[in-house]
Amino acid sequence: MSLKTLILAAGKGTRMKSELPKVLHKVCGVPMVQKIVDTCSKIGSIDNILILGHKKEEILKVLPNVDYVVQEEQLGTGHAVIQAKEKLKDFDGTIMILCGDTPLLREETLKKLYNYHKETKAITTILTSIYENPFGYGRIVKENGNVIGIIEEKEATSEIKSIKEVNAGVYCFESKELLETLDRIDNKNEKGEYYLTDVIAINVKDGKKVEAFLLEDNDEILGINSKIELEKANCIMRDRINLQHMENGVILIDKNNTYIEEAVEIGQDTIIYPGALLQGNTKIGEKCEILGNTRIIDCEIGNNVRVESSVLEESIVESKVTIGPFAHLRPKSHLKEEVHIGNFVEVKKSVLEKGVKAGHLTYLGDATVGEKTNIGAGTITCNYDGKNKFKTTIGKNAFIGSDTMLVAPVNIGENALVGAGSVITKDVPENALAVSRSKQVIKFDWRK
Ligand code: UD1
Ligand code: CA
């Protein structure tokens, strides 16, 4: 296939009113421009070239390996394409041009557009759609059913404004013709910009074949220029993602109030309650229950896990674990099967072996806890001396009484028992009892 794509992403995005470059705003967790590049990579194009300008360094941080050219001054979409001239001059094929701000476009749509362009042997093919309220988009002007040009909102007369077929901002061009025609566009318009869309009228004058490929689903071509449109795109994308999960067998109680990012995988019969936020490369197994007010990011979760009102980050949770309410798993934690962590328990960079229970008000950091050990309420691994972090190791079947401070580095042996309220600074051997607290004193009738 002789296809290259060109993605325009140099503009300031003034209407977005943001410090962040417009195309880096995220739709369901993915920066718009990244989404477009990903989609383009799937349609068999041999090169995807970005046009970058405004805050290009920030965009390159997100897409470090992308091929790009710089448009120093943003003088319009036509001017943007001219910047790629050097790169494209020896290329004899089709160039698909897209905008960095239309993240909802589907792979199938782009493939269909390309095939249509090839089948009709057009020089230029424009992706179009019908909008009841076409405000802001370029209008497709036709004569006897043939496209004769695109007119932008700013230049549109009231008659043109009433046209509902709009330019999606996606086109297929034959490269040689495009490069020649671009030399002939000017900036004599309301915005003083070089419009890529002016190429169409020139094509028509030259007697070249221009086609419009009409897309039924007009949601797909939504261009994101403002925060209002960004919210709209998030809603549409969220719906797509959520419907797909339900089709795969996931139960969503309220699809409009469940926030699942694109890369997340969820197994059959898992129930997701309203208000859940599932992010990054999270994988959730089957028959889990994820209750509201839970945020899970980059975690791997087994089957039959229940999580309530908790935050889980970059951790592994095996099957039949229960978490929460109000627990916090911080990065690099690993909860093995049947572990329970409950109310106000924080775990960081720790391994909790099978069946460990820490039900209440506990901090376990840089620790390993052996199978079936019970951690009493208010236990804290004191892992930090102000400069360095130290490890706590607790053997299996141990019992740590409530309100215990385990001053790391420290080891508690298998089957050991630590009395409530202890401050443990020395290792406790297996099977031993350790108590470290002042003896209780009673003074009778003291109040009198
Ligand atoms: C553009 C189209 C319009 C179409 C709409 C679809 C033109 C003149 N108009 O309008 O017909 O209906 O998209 O969404 O093409 N950009 C650059 N360099 C520039 C200017 C823009 O790279 O000098 C980039 C922007 O970063 C953006 C894209 O091109 O990603 C489109 O620019 P934008 O200003 O959003 O164009 P629209 O006014 O939406
Ligand atoms: Ca736009």
Q: Rounded to whole angstroms, how far apart are CA atoms 290 and 284?
A: 10
Of 17, 74, 77, which is best to mutate to test ligand 1, by the most ligand atoms within 8 angstroms of its C-beta? 77
Using CB atoms within 10 A of its CB, is residue 26 exposed (0-12), middle (13-18) or buried (19+)? middle
Q: Rounded to whole angstroms, how far apart are CA atoms 278 and 200?
A: 44
360 given a catalytic annotation: yes
What is the atom index within ligand 1 of the atom nearest the CA of 52? 22
Sorting pLDDT into bands at 50, 70 and 90, what band is 403? very high
Q: Rounded to whole angstroms, how far apart are CA atoms 427 and 418?
A: 11
85 CB-near residues (< 8 Å, 6+ apart): 179, 182
Task: State residue 257's pLDDT score.
Answer: 97
Tell me which ligand sits closest to the C-alpha of residue 137: 1
CA of 102 to the centre of ligand 2 (A): 7
| Residue spans of beta strands (DSSP E) within 366-432 | 367-369, 374-375, 380-382, 392-394, 399-400, 405-407, 410-412, 417-418, 423-424
Task: State residue 1's pLDDT score.
Answer: 67
Atom 6 of ligand 1, residue of closest alpha carbon: 169
CA of 263 to the centre of ligand 1 (A): 28
Task: State residue 276's pLDDT score.
Answer: 98
Share of the chain above pLDDT 70, in %: 100
Q: Are strands 94-99 and 165-174 parallel, antiparallel or unpaired?
A: antiparallel
Tell me which ligand sits closest to the C-alpha of residue 11: 1
pTM above 0.85, yes or no: yes
CA of 214 to the centre of ligand 2 (A): 18
Q: Please write the tens of the pLDDT for every residue from 320-375.
A: 999 999 999 999 999 999 999 999 999 999 999 999 999 999 999 999 999 999 99
CA of 137 to the centre of ligand 2 (A): 8
Atom 11 of ligand 1, residue of closest alpha carbon: 138
Q: Which phi and psi angles does 341 have, rounded to 5°? A: -120, 135
Pocket of ligand 1 (CB under 6 A): 8-11, 23, 51, 71, 74-77, 79-80, 99-102, 137-138, 150, 152, 166-169, 195-197, 223, 225
CA of 279 to the centre of ligand 2 (A): 27
What is the atom index within ligand 1 of the atom nearest the CA of 168? 6
Task: State residue 151's pLDDT score.
Answer: 97
Task: State residue 339's pLDDT score.
Answer: 98
Q: Please write the tens of the pLDDT for every residue from 68-119.
A: 999 999 999 999 999 999 999 999 999 999 999 999 999 999 999 999 999 9
Question: What six digits make up the tokens of 139?
Answer: 């209008």
* CB contact at 8 A, 137 and 154: no
DSSP per residue, 253-320: S-GGG-EE-TT-EE-TT-EE-TT-EEESS-EE-SS-EE-SS-EEES-EE-SS-EE-S-EEES-EE-TT
Of 58, 99, 197, which is best to mutate to test ligand 1, by the most ligand atoms within 8 angstroms of its C-beta? 99
* CB contact at 8 A, 250 and 273: no
Which residue in 245, 328, 340, 360 is the catalytic one? 360
Q: Rounded to whole angstroms, how far apart are CA atoms 36 and 403?
A: 53
Q: Please write the tens of the pLDDT for every residue from 209-255.
A: 999 999 999 999 999 999 999 999 999 999 999 999 999 999 999 99
* CB contact at 8 A, 293 and 274: no
Atom 3 of ligand 1, residue of closest alpha carbon: 138
CA of 170 to the centre of ligand 2 (A): 11
State the average pLDDT over residues 367-390: 97
